[in-house]
Structures are given as C-alpha cells and as structure tokens.
Structure 1
C-alpha cells in the first residue's frame, strides 16, 4: 500500500471515528448521570436524518435552515423520550428502566416505518461539502476533513458546558449522587432533561454529517451506528466524555484500516466492533479511561 493510499484510508477512518464519537458522547452523558444506557439514542439519531430530509425535500428549506430546524426538533424529541420513558420510572429498579429504554427504541423504529415508509431515501447532498479537495496526491471530500474539525469544536463546547457553567456543575453533582445533589438545591429532573437535550443535539449533528457522508436513510439505520457508538463509549470508558471520543476514533480507524489492509475481511467489518467490545470487557472492563464504580445496594 502506498503512503498516499494509507493517508486517504487514515483520513476516512478519522472521519468515521468522529461520527461514532459524536453519537457515543450521548450514550456516555446519560450513563454518567443515570447509570443506564439510553437504547433509544440510535433511533433519535435516525429520526434526525428524516427531519433533515423532509426539511429540504418536502418543505424546500435551504439546507442550513433545515439543519437548524433538525437540531431543534431532535433536541425536543430527546427531551420527550426522557419524559415519557424515563422520568416516570426514576425510582424504579434499573431493569425496569432498561426495558422501557428498549421499548422506546422499538417504538421510534416502528413509528419511522409508519410515518416515513420502509423504502430507503436519498439524503440531500450539499455541494459545499461534497466537493473533492486534492492535498498533494490525496483526493478527499471536503466533508471528510470537516467532520473531525466539527467534532473537536463541539467537544470543546461540551467540555466548556460541563466544566465551566452552573449547569455543568449540576450535571457533575447529579452524576455523583442524586439525593445529595437534591439536598444541595440542584433541580435533578431539570438537569437530567438538559443532559438528554445535549445528547440529542450531538446525535442530530452526527446524523446530519452521517447523512451527507452516507446518503441513504431508512428506519432501521440507527441500529448499527448506535451499537457501534455504544461500543466506542464502552471502549473509551462509559461515563467519560474524553473516553467516548477516544473510543470512537479507535473504532472508526480500526474499521477502515481493517478493510484497507485485509479486503477479504470486508464482510466482517461489523464483527470487528463486537470483537473489540469482547476484548475490552475481558482485558479492561472499565474501558481505557473509565473508573470502577461501586454499585449501591
């Protein structure tokens, strides 16, 4: 393999890993606050693609207006899912909440089939992002270079929110202990809702960029990216934002380079993610940057 071809594959891997990272942050934020996996997160990601598609195709919005509307609608949907599937079960056993999360996932999937149909649709392309750039002898879509940059910008904004604002302080307090945070005057329900809203915004941003990079959408398309983003979160250390980003990059780069160096294993590309999950659970169950958390009894 030539150096130019390797750099092209590496750049594509970083771009894919950035998308996994954006979705994985949503998983890791909710887990950090509630100690549960939001299994409906992949479906929220999927719904964002349909919002953007219909904004451009049906309502003839300019792409930038459609994308802003998509982010707002996806944020509201994330808050609605939290209120319907999680808030009423706040004090229930975790297995009950987990079943509710799985139910929300299947509900959104089937709702998309009913509303949008099962036939795949072509996501609208934006020339600004699909133009091909030539860097030396390497040819890349502009979007491939923009996705990692956008991910880093969004990550910086998220870390500023978590570490430098009162809302972020409330999130960190709730992640440590709900009851103590409540006694200290933190509105726990509001903080959890904001966490879901932020995670859904990141899912929408990831969904929009995913649609432009892989322009075909269908109601079940959130399953595999959602699972891989969850694996990325576990790989990096579930509950750790930096870990989710590292896990996303490792998974994306690993997938692309596997296909590049061993093209005969292309059909096992998805299996690679699950092999990594099994390996990390066997070797370091807390993930690369995760910390061991003692369960309350």
Structure 2
C-alpha cells in the first residue's frame, strides 16, 4: 500500500501545489478583511468567481479580435490579470461601501447574513448575464498554456510514477508566488500596510492617530478583491471550464485554509492554502487505495475538513495564530 501511495506522489505534489496556490490567494482576502473588521466576508468566493468570468470574457473577446494569435500569450494574460484585478477590486470596494459600511456597528450576525446575501446575488447575477450572452451558464475559455510536459520522476527514484503537467501550472504557481510576496511586502514594509495593521489592532486609536479608517478599510477590500479576481483568471486558465457556482465550495475551502493557518494572519493563510491543496489532492489520489475501495476520491473534502477539525481541537487559534487574551 505504501508503495502505491508513493507511485502517485509526484502527480499529487504538482496538482496540489496548483490548487493550493489558488486556495492561498483567495484565503488572503478572507484573512485581510477579518483582521481589520472581524467580518467573515462570505461574498469573497463569488468575487473570485466573478473574476474568473470577467477574465474569461476578456480572453474570448481577444480571441474573437484575433489578438491572442498576434500577441505573446504571457502579455495577453498579464493584460487580462490587470484589467480583471482592477474591476474586481472596485467591485469589492463597492460592496464594502454599500453593504458593509452602513452595518459596521451592527451585530456581527447581521453583517454575516448580509455577506451571504451578497454572495447569492453575485452568483445569480453572473449566471443571468452568462446565460443571456452565451445561452448556457458554463463558460469555456480559449486554450492558453495548454502544452503537456512530461516529468520523468521514475528516473529520480524508481518507486515514483512519471507525472505530467500543463504549462499553465508554472504560470499559475509563478504569478501566485509573486502576488503573495508582493502583498506580504506591502503589508509589512509600506506606510499603507502599517496603517492597515494599526486599524486591525485598534480601530479607534488608529483614527485618533489621524489614520483615515474608511480609506484603509476600502483599500483592504480593493486589494483582497483584486487578488481574488486575478486568482479567478488563473483558475480559468488552469482548469478551462468555469460556472457561477465554483466560488461557493472553493470559497469555503479557502476560508478553511485561512482558519487553519490562523485567521487574520497573512502568512498563515498562505501556508494553510498550500496545505489544504496538497491534502485534498493526496486524498483524491490515495483514499481508494488506503481504504481498499471503501472511500472514493469524492471524499477528499471530508478528509480536508477532518484535518481542520483535528488541528482546531488541539490548536484553536490555528497553526500560526496567536492566542488573544480578553481583558475584563
């Protein structure tokens, strides 16, 4: 059995890193908003989904105009990522201004219900527009970075099976790493990042120290939503087919990753996302082997959430979270 598990390891690592990078960046949006407002923005998964649709629509427009064949694919992708990031960032700012800011001092349950309502609204709006334009709510984008590359893992160690990887894997992983490093630098090394950390620590005191709290919160939503939208484009490029419901379950898993790493901790969200992606792919490949066929690959979600429950039982603040002491 161990030998069979080792056979699948190279492919599991490749698929898990690609999926984990997506989870990690989406988890950043959850953890940034929670760190400042203590709000679980359940609409963030749908912002990711909206980004996937906006990016795919732009790519299809470029394809119809013949630009994809005339421009290098990487330049096309960069243009789409920039446009989609700006649009979804503005969408996130709009949601914060219209739906969350008026409820900032309301009980947290009300803002949570509002976030769920915004989630369903975005889901149905994207479905309506897609069906109106396409006749179907499932959208398939043009093939970019679709070349299959073989990796001879058996030549490294005979117990491994050979693996294959799409060229888009390197694009997704590379862009994800750049976005995560840039965000970490922005939050920890810039003046606006310092303002965000100050508002997260004590909103009232930060306001007394001339920090514009509303601007900082709006910027947080813009950055988190822009990253989520860009990740939606990467998801569409990697997996090809999208629908209005991809944001729901992926958003839940990204939120799980944020909680696993320590909600409110940016580096913890990154680590949690990668870990959840690897665990999910490991379970999908090996649960039938380990359980002797009793559990199929579809139980991978149960496996990932079971790991989360175990971690939170023994370390409720998450892997990188800090225990907060409430003063009374």
User: Which residue of the partner structure matches residue 313 of structure 2?
Assistant: 282
Q: In structure 2, do the counterparts of structure 1 residues 152 and 57 end up closer, same or farther at CA, with 3 Å as the change threshold?
A: closer
Q: In structure 2, do the counterparts of structure 1 residues 2 and 228 end up closer, same or farther at CA, with 3 Å as the change threshold?
A: closer
User: Which residue of the partner structure matches residue 147 of structure 2?
Assistant: 131
Q: 1:121 aligns with which of 123, 126, 139?
A: 139
**Quick check: 2:51–2:231 contact (8 Å CA) kept in 1?**
no
State the 1:6 CA deviation: 1.7
Residue 193 (str. 1) matches residue 218 (str. 2):
yes
Instruction: Determine helix, strand or coil for the equivalent of 1:56.
Output: helix
List alignment gaps of at least 5 residues for structure 2.
68-75, 154-162
State the 1:100 CA deviation: 1.3
User: Which residue of the partner structure matches residue 172 of structure 2?
Assistant: 147
Q: 1:176 aligns with which of 201, 205, 210?
A: 201
State the 1:90 CA deviation: 1.6
List alignment gaps of at least 5 residues for structure 1.
none
1: CA distance between counterparts of 2:286 and 2:277?
A: 14
Alpha-carbon RMSD: 1.9
Residue 28 (str. 1) matches residue 44 (str. 2):
no
Pick which of 106-115 and 257-266 moved more: 257-266
User: Which residue of the partner structure matches residue 112 of structure 1?
Assistant: 126
Deviation per CA, 1:139-185: give whole Å up to 9, x if none.
31122233233222111111111111110000000000110000000
- Matches for 1:141-290 after TM superposition, within 5 Å: 141-263=166-288, 264=293, 265-290=296-321
Pick which of 185-194 and 201-210 moved more: 201-210
Deviation per CA, 1:256-289: give whole Å up to 9, x if none.
1112222342121222232223223322111000
Instruction: Determine helix, strand or coil for the equivalent of 1:229.
Output: helix
**Quick check: 1:75–1:198 contact (8 Å CA) kept in 2?**
yes
User: Which residue of the partner structure matches residue 72 of structure 2?
Assistant: none
| TM-score calculated relative to the size of structure 1 | 0.93
Instruction: Determine helix, strand or coil for the equivalent of 1:43.
Output: helix
Instruction: Determine helix, strand or coil for the equivalent of 1:25.
Output: helix
Instruction: Determine helix, strand or coil for the equivalent of 2:42.
Output: coil
2: CA distance between counterparts of 1:266 and 1:12?
A: 14
Aligned residues: 295
Q: In structure 2, do the counterparts of structure 1 residues 274 and 3 end up closer, same or farther at CA, with 3 Å as the change threshold?
A: closer
User: Which residue of the partner structure matches residue 57 of structure 2?
Assistant: 54
User: Which residue of the partner structure matches residue 44 of structure 2?
Assistant: 41
Pick which of 82-91 and 225-234 moved more: 82-91
Residue 18 (str. 1) matches residue 21 (str. 2):
yes
State the 1:10 CA deviation: 1.1
Q: 1:85 aligns with which of 80, 84, 99?
A: 99
Deviation per CA, 1:13-55: give whole Å up to 9, x if none.
1111111001001100111111111110000000011111221
Bigger radius of gyration: 2
State the 1:294 CA deviation: 4.6
